[in-house]
Structure 1
Amino acid sequence: MDVVSDAISAVRVGRPSSSRLRVSGDWAVRLAPYEGVGFHVVLAGACTLLPDDGGTPVPLGAGDVVLVSHGTGHVLADAAAGPGAARRARLLADVPETDLVLPGAGPEVRLLCGKYRLDRSRTHPLLAELPEMVHLPYGDAGSPELRSAVGLLVRELDTDGGRPGASLVLPGLLDLLLVYMIRAWAARAGTGGWPAALADPATAAALHALHCAPATPWTNDLLAAHAGVSRATLARRFTTLVGRPPMAYLTWWRLTLAATRLRATDAPLATVARETGYGSPYALSHAFSREFGITPGRYRSLGAPPPELRVTKP
């Protein structure tokens, strides 16, 4: 287990969805805000992404990838589009479920548009730290894996899903794409926040231990010994980079895992408690209610996270 994988798996709902957009000429489409993480891969041609908040337009070329980290509304338009493109954009209420073709005069632009659906009630702080838009140019020498994943996607899509195993290959490639996008962002982000936490040997070792064995009765001394530093050093570096002390992070992560188990399985509360480091269902229920403002049983029975769910911010 590792932090990036856990951060994604803890909040993912279902499988990623994607479709292709083929456009040409003078065009513009709007993606309304949505719950999840969106992405666009330019398979051929060039276009422009216009953020809804009036931010700087993002020019996109063939092979470029852009991650819409928080489901922010935006407009995709032809490469020559100006600010007025937003006013004439065709509204797509969500990432389209089927391929969309908008013919026109001029060079064709082909995009892969997709979405990872997330349960925002328990977003890992690593994902929360992502900027609204992450533009990853194809020529970026720091992300060879991302270029490889894009290349595989292009070849798979060129067959129109006709190759054996395509129904498994495409979702798998989309999962890889998300991991590689987050890796590429962390590598480019440099110092500060979660990229720095993952790059710091002691903090990364402690995080790895907590994620590998969350049910272990960890103490600050035991965790510091595992990380190979003193207790004071680990406490200082971990708290500075992660934003909370090691044991506070462990408590939050255990409860996040419990929430995931409650939604994804029908395991008894006693089993969930044991898997997440709580000695009894009562102990888990008390901690869960304090963190989320709702009992585990009620949380499980509600299914999709209710809008009124109170969640303590990581």
Structure 2
Amino acid sequence: MDVVSDAISAVRIGQPSSNRLRVGGSWCTRLAPYEGAGFHVVLAGGCWLLPDGGGEPVTLGAGDVVLLPHGAGHVLADAPGDTARAVPFEEMTRPAGGNGREVELLCGKYRLDHARVHPLLAELPQVVHLPNRVGAHPELRSAVDLLAREVDERRPGACLALPSLLDLLLIYMVRAWMTESATGSWPAVLSDPVTTAALRALHSDPAAPWTNDRLAAEAGVSRATLARRFTALVGRPPMAYLTWWRLTLAATRLRDTDAPLAAVAREAGYGTPYALSHAFSREFGVTPGRFRAGGSSSSR
């Protein structure tokens, strides 16, 4: 697995959901904050996205894609202005018509567990706007085109095709942000060959008996060079990152499977359930058993 795939897989829960919104005239709808990530694809026409908290309004045109990776509340409207007129998204059942341009959007949500989110996803801004530009992000554009053809759920196989395309859309949106980001640290992390080689090794086999010397050899540099570059870019030393990632994987397995604790410990690189339990409790403030049972936990 690569870092982006692992980062998404570790927090994703269940399948994404989506709804097609087709309106015209004067309209305004509010989408409440959500424990996950929201997205919109403008299939036709254009509108405005108005973030909660006074963020800058965003103009959306046909083919534009927008991701709200932290589930921020926002308003969609035909024009910027008074958001007090916004009705809840669930009540937007009025058919298209009126004196304004017709707008069609695919609006949806990804269920994500933000408690142990990977730092790559954590540094995404509240709103990621990816305008439709000729020649930009061809994979994303292809996914949007395919989604536009699949939004009619009466087509054969749409129940399988649509969730799969939405999963691809999330990957392509994150990729596109990494390509365009001028401020994020993780695009720089994954463009550095030494750090990328080390991360690829750790994510490919997190349970291996890694040491700084072995990881440095894998990256083709000295131990001091690896430690310096990895810590400066990632924000923590290689072995500290490995410990965090192993425990994050264990939490994901505990959440998503009924695998015995001994198997979870072995897959995460811990020799015994006790060793895993001790490290897990120190990191997350709760034992693996309580975590699996739904007990309270804290994230660091």
TM-score bracket relative to the smaller structure: over 0.9
The question of 1:310 aligning with 2:295 is answered no
SS in 2 for 1:59: strand
CA contact (8 A) 1:273 1:280 kept: yes
Match in the other structure for 2:238? 246
Match in the other structure for 2:137? 143
Shift in CA distance, 140/50, structure 1 to aligned 2, threshold 3 Å? farther
SS in 1 for 2:293: helix
SS in 2 for 1:145: helix
Match in the other structure for 1:51? 51
CA contact (8 A) 1:214 1:254 kept: yes
Give 1:119 shift.
Answer: 1.0
Give 1:141 shift.
Answer: 3.2
SS in 2 for 1:175: helix
Give 1:53 shift.
Answer: 1.4
CA contact (8 A) 2:64 2:131 kept: yes
User: Relative to structure 2, which stretch is displaced further, 139-148 or 5-14?
Assistant: 139-148
Shift in CA distance, 90/8, structure 1 to aligned 2, threshold 3 Å? same
Q: 2:85 aligns with which of 68, 85, 88?
A: 88
Partners of 1:190 and 1:82 lie apart in 2 by: 27
Give 1:191 shift.
Answer: 6.2
CA contact (8 A) 2:48 2:80 kept: no
Question: Structure 1: any 5+ residue segments left out of the alignment?
Answer: none
Partners of 2:97 and 2:22 lie apart in 1 by: 10
Partners of 1:25 and 1:62 lie apart in 2 by: 17
Partners of 1:195 and 1:217 lie apart in 2 by: 28
Question: Structure 2: any 5+ residue segments left out of the alignment?
Answer: none
RMSD value, Cα: 1.5
CA contact (8 A) 2:34 2:71 kept: yes
Give 1:156 shift.
Answer: 1.5
Query: What does the per-residue CA deviation read over 1:274-296, in whole Å, with 9 as the maximum and x for residues that have no partner?
Result: 00100100000000000000000
Percent identical among aligned pairs is 71
Match in the other structure for 2:272? 280
CA contact (8 A) 1:20 1:100 kept: no
Give 1:138 shift.
Answer: 1.1
SS in 2 for 1:199: coil
SS in 1 for 2:253: helix
Q: TM-score, length-normalised on structure 1?
A: 0.92
Alignment map for 1:222-241 (pairs within 5 Å): 222-241=214-233
Partners of 2:68 and 2:261 lie apart in 1 by: 36
Shift in CA distance, 191/31, structure 1 to aligned 2, threshold 3 Å? closer
Q: 2:208 aligns with which of 208, 216, 223?
A: 216
Q: How many residue pairs align between the two structures? A: 299
The question of 1:14 aligning with 2:8 is answered no
Partners of 2:93 and 2:230 lie apart in 1 by: 47
The question of 1:264 aligning with 2:263 is answered no
CA contact (8 A) 1:20 1:99 kept: no
The question of 1:195 aligning with 2:215 is answered no
CA contact (8 A) 1:19 1:99 kept: no
CA contact (8 A) 1:48 1:59 kept: yes
Give 1:309 shift.
Answer: 2.1
Shift in CA distance, 75/99, structure 1 to aligned 2, threshold 3 Å? closer
Give 1:100 shift.
Answer: 4.2
The question of 1:122 aligning with 2:116 is answered yes
Q: 2:125 aligns with which of 131, 135, 156?
A: 131
Query: What does the per-residue CA deviation read over 1:194-240, in whole Å, with 9 as the maximum and x for residues that have no partner?
Result: 11111111111111111110000000111111011111111111111
Query: What does the per-residue CA deviation read over 1:36-55, in whole Å, with 9 as the maximum and x for residues that have no partner?
Result: 01000000001000011111
Give 1:140 shift.
Answer: 5.6
Partners of 1:60 and 1:67 lie apart in 2 by: 12
Partners of 2:35 and 2:229 lie apart in 1 by: 33
Q: Kindly report structure 1 stretches of 4+ aligned residues shifted beyond 4 Å.
A: 98-102
Alignment map for 1:51-90 (pairs within 5 Å): 51-78=51-78, 81-84=79-82, 86-90=83-87
SS in 1 for 2:190: helix
Amino acid at match of 1:309: S
